[in-house]
Copies of this chain bind each other. A is one copy, B any other.
Amino acid sequence: MEKLRIGVIGTGAIGREHIKRLSERIVGCETVAVADVDRDAAERVASLCGAKCCESGEELILSPEVDAVLVASWDATHAKYVLAAVAEGKYVFCEKPLSPETKDCERILEAESALGKRIVQVGFMRRFDSGYRALKAAIKSGVIGNPLMIHACHRNMTHAATMTSEMSIKNAGIHEIDIMRWLLEEEYVQGQVLLPRQNGISRKENLQDPQIMLLRTESGVTIDVELNQSSGYGYDIQCEAVGEEGTVRLPDPATVVTRARGACSFEVRPGWETRFTEAYDIELQQWVDEVKADRITGPSAWDGTVACHTAVVLGECRESGEIRGISYPHCPDFYKNMF
């Protein structure tokens, strides 16, 4: 079968990572075009991977040799490129978030549902992680009965210099927001943010860290997620679903176990890259395969919208500490029953 010809918008760290992955680990595709607001950066990447360098994302989307588009640009520009791709009827894979603003997401919902065919996929790669998949399968198996609560932690080793309290929710928390509703197949009705004692070691203006997101779903499942940008010891993702008859929990990654120096231990790695490597591979391979088969099933524009809007609401109520109801934009029928 012909290779899928992909154009990549955004040649920053994430974009370059995707280009490398498409070339080295994904079967049946090639990167044929790149674009970036930093034209020089785009040129360098283009020459390295043998792709054409476009003047703009819009030009790239219009290029006839581009079969499908991957958007890895600056968050605030995601929506416009996605909309342009939808206008052109080209499959588009957009890194999370679909947009930082609910209103932009709504425009995408309108455009895609008008088209009547799913062509937008959002980069919630955790849904492709074997651990989360086994977690969902276990919940569905009924072994824990109906889920009642989820306890989760999202711990980064250290935060970027630019990290703020709101970004902690919108960048890191958004993964948790998406994966919880995917696990439970339900929407949220209420949210709250707790502000624990500030980490004094990693103290920084504009960043309250840690924070705890509390979410409640339609059926009453209560979720607490520790958002911790400076765990001090490693990148650590924990998730335990508690049901009527038992619990099921994400495993720690398999790592050699050492007994030395008075302790039995295993390493917790600092970076998120290695934690979800395989999930990224599966995500993109499935996307390429499904685009070629003209039917995609990954995280939808609606999923992107819900995640965006939930993060927006939590961002608003985090400082006051109040308990806030959450209501979402209208969900076009097109997206119903899509979990």
Which residues of A line the B interface, CB within 8 A? 23-27, 130-131, 134-135, 138, 143-149, 151, 153, 194-202, 210, 212, 214, 216, 219-222, 224, 226, 228, 230-234, 236, 242-270, 278, 285, 321, 323
Contact A250 B244 (CB under 8 A): no
Residues of B near A321 (CB, < 8 A) are 323
Residues of B near A202 (CB, < 8 A) are 244
Tell me the minimal C-beta distance from A155 to chain B in angstroms: 8
Contact A148 B266 (CB under 8 A): no
Given A145-B201, A254-B251, do A245 and B266 touch, yes or no (CB 8 Å)?
no
Contact B263 A268 (CB under 8 A): yes
Contact A253 B254 (CB under 8 A): yes
Contact B251 A146 (CB under 8 A): no
Contact B242 A250 (CB under 8 A): no
Contact A257 B266 (CB under 8 A): no
Of the A-B pairs whose beta carbons lie under 8 Å apart in the complex, a sample of 6, sorted by A's number, is A143-B258, A148-B196, A210-B242, A247-B258, A264-B266, A321-B323
Contact A246 B265 (CB under 8 A): no
Number of copies: 4
Distance of A194 Cα from B264 Cα, bound (Å): 26
Given A146-B197, A268-B262, do A134 and B246 touch, yes or no (CB 8 Å)?
no
Complex partner residue of A257 from B196, B249, B253, CB under 8 angstroms: B249
Distance of A176 Cα from B253 Cα, bound (Å): 24
Contact A263 B267 (CB under 8 A): yes
Given A201-B145, A242-B226, do A264 and B265 touch, yes or no (CB 8 Å)?
yes
Chain B, residue nearest A196 (CB): B222
Contact A148 B197 (CB under 8 A): yes
Distance of A246 Cα from B268 Cα, bound (Å): 11
Contact B267 A145 (CB under 8 A): no
Contact B246 A266 (CB under 8 A): no
Distance of A217 Cα from B138 Cα, bound (Å): 36
Contact B244 A220 (CB under 8 A): no
Contact B151 A151 (CB under 8 A): yes
Contact A148 B258 (CB under 8 A): no
Residues of B near A194 (CB, < 8 A) are 214, 216, 222
Contact B258 A268 (CB under 8 A): no
Residues of B near A323 (CB, < 8 A) are 321, 323
Chain B, residue nearest A203 (CB): B244
Residues of B near A144 (CB, < 8 A) are 258, 260
Q: Which 5 A-B pairs have the closest CB atoms?
A: A246-B260, A197-B220, A265-B265, A232-B245, A196-B222
